């Protein structure tokens, strides 16, 4: 057994101010295996990985690679030792070519000082892609590639040189089904050559398809490590959250009230055609569609992010012109974006500033801000929403993905928005955080808020939506009540 291990940790502990992120965590990785790490946001997954790759120094414990204890003080040291990390957020430089991204920091020197041997660089980049059985033009700018190919370029970048341990953090978060299948095929080829892969995901179903073992973390502790063949979906959820999830999708369907939002004959030059629907008080109106269906464009138009369109939008039976997000906010709308990092959070702000930023006028005194009142209100929301943070003055980037998502939702609760546009609200968060978001949505509906839920996750739409609109090629192709909707019907209408 010992000679099969390429990596193991013993009793890893890490403290941050006011928080013990990891406590006595043991972990091991065999050659040629895929070992998944599962846990709620804040469970300690990211901290463990950052210790392994040299971003953080551990407070105590041991990291052993190929039988030798190591302490990496930088990601570069980890790379030299054969450990590479592919992070959840793509980190390519979009204006550089594929070959420049693959060989970033390792471009071969030319004959003269400060020059690059581009012929050799092209050859090395092409060989790196060939390992993945991928054929791309290495001279193409990385920003021109689709998400799936950008992911493959990141993997090729990680495989330059000798690699024995590959860490993948949420690798399928931005991929479609075909790209996921291609990725899984690639991972199987990699482990067949002896590479050990640490695979972090929130999608439990993926673990049963791709992993050999799974370690579950909760509140910084290792709950258990089990073989995939000896566990079940329900077992993993129970280990993650410390309780049975008897009701994965909490929803109390209420009697719907007046029409909050009505869309009549909406068209857009970018591809929407004759969109008509209504949203009522207390309703969750789901919007489903495949990639390119136009549902994201519809979400942006309704919140004023894409102002050029024809047709009418009515709020409480009054025609409105939503020329910008500021206008949408003033009309009582809130927007939870799909891209939390790029569209939802202000990365340089604290937790409390991210909560109150859409409602600062409530705390203004002339040219001055009543910061004490603002902080008091933010603290109320942190406690009300169970946002796990050492302090409201903590930088938002230090929070886990699920807690960041709660902050984005809370921002609009603070404005008392009565129309909520939620674009993939559970994307990239764990099962426990998803239940908390569903519970919050249910509570909002009971208070008379109307929710437009744009989602590619059919199970959640089928479980909690009062009605589901289906879009294909910029058109509405079906409308189904909660009792009528099935996965087969949604797919049938989505591919028209």
| Average pLDDT of the chain, as a whole number | 86
What percent of the chain has a predicted confidence (pLDDT) above 70? Answer: 96
Backbone angles phi, psi at 270, to 5 degrees: -85, 0
CA distance 400 to 387: 10
How does pLDDT run across 152-197, given as a tens digit for each residue?
888 888 777 778 899 988 887 767 777 788 888 888 988 998 999 9
> Following DSSP, what letter does each residue of 212-242 receive, concatenated?
SEEEEEETTEEEEEEEGGG--HHHHHHHHHS
Residues 6+ apart with CB under 8 A from 365: none
Q: Per residue in 232-248, pLDDT tens? A: 988 888 888 765 555 67
More confident residue, 223 or 160: 223
428 closest CA partner among 451, 402, 408: 402
Q: What is the pLDDT of residues 419-478, one digit of tens each?
A: 999 998 887 777 777 888 888 899 899 999 999 999 988 888 999 999 999 999 999 999
The predicted structure's pLDDT at residue 369: 72
Q: What structural domains and CATH numbers belong to the chain?
A: 2-241 (3.40.50.300), 259-494 (3.40.50.300)
Do the beta carbons of residue 490 and residue 458 sit within 8 Å?
A: yes
Residue 310: enclosing H or E segment and its boundaries?
A: strand 310-315
């Amino acid at each position: 057994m010992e000679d099969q291990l390429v990596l193991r940790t013993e009793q890893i502990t890490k403290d941050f101010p006011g928080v013990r992120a990891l406590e006595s965590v043991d972990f091991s990785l065999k050659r040629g295996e895929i070992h998944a790490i599962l846990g709620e946001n804040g469970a300690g997954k990211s901290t463990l990985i950052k210790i392994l790759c040299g971003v953080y120094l551990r407070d105590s414990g041991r990291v052993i690679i190929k039988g030798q204890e190591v302490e990496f003080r930088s990601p570069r040291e980890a790379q030299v030792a054969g450990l590479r990390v592919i992070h959840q957020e793509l980190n390519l430089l979009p204006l550089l070519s594929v070959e420049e991204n693959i060989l970033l920091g390792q471009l071969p020197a030319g004959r003269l000082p400060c020059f690059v041997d581009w012929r050799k660089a092209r050859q090395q980049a092409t060989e790196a892609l060939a390992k993945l059985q991928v054929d791309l033009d290495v001279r193409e700018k990385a920003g021109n590639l689709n998400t799936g190919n950008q992911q493959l370029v990141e993997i090729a970048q990680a495989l330059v040189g000798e690699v024995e341990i590959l860490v993948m953090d949420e690798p399928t978060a931005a991929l479609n089904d075909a790209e996921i299948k291609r990725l899984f095929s690639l991972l199987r080829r990699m482990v067949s050559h002896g590479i050990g892969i640490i695979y972090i995901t929130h999608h439990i179903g993926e673990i049963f398809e791709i992993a050999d073992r799974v370690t579950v973390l909760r509140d910084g502790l290792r709950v258990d490590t089990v073989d995939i063949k000896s566990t079940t979906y329900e077992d993993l959820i129970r280990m993650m959250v410390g309780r049975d999830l008897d009701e994965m999708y909490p929803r109390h369907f209420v009697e719907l009230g007046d029409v909050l939002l009505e869309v009549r004959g909406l068209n857009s030059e970018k591809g929407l055609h004759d969109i008509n629907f209504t949203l009522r008080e207390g309703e969750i109106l789901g919007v489903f569609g495949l990639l390119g269906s136009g549902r994201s464009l519809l979400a942006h138009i309704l919140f004023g992010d894409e102002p050029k369109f024809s047709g009418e939008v009515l709020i409480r039976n009054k025609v409105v012109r939503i020329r910008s997000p500021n206008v949408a906010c003033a009309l009582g709308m809130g927007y939870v974006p799909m891209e939390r990092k790029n569209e939802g959070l202000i990365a340089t702000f604290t937790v409390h500033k991210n909560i109150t930023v859409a409602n600062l006028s409530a705390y203004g005194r002339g040219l001055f801000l009543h910061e004490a009142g603002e902080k008091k209100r933010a603290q109320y929301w942190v406690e009300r929403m169970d946002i796990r943070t050492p302090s409201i003055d903590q930088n938002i980037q230090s929070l886990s993905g699920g807690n960041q998502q709660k902050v984005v939702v809370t921002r609009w609760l603070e404005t008392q928005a009565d129309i909520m546009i939620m674009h993939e609200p559970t994307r990239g968060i764990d099962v426990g955080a998803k239940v908390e978001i569903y519970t919050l949505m249910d509570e909002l509906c009971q208070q008379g808020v109307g929710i437009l839920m744009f989602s590619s996750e059919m199970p959640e739409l089928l479980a909690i939506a009062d009605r589901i609109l289906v879009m294909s090629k910029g058109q509405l192709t079906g409308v189904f009540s909660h009792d009528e909707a099935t996965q087969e019907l949604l797919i049938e209408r989505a591919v028209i």
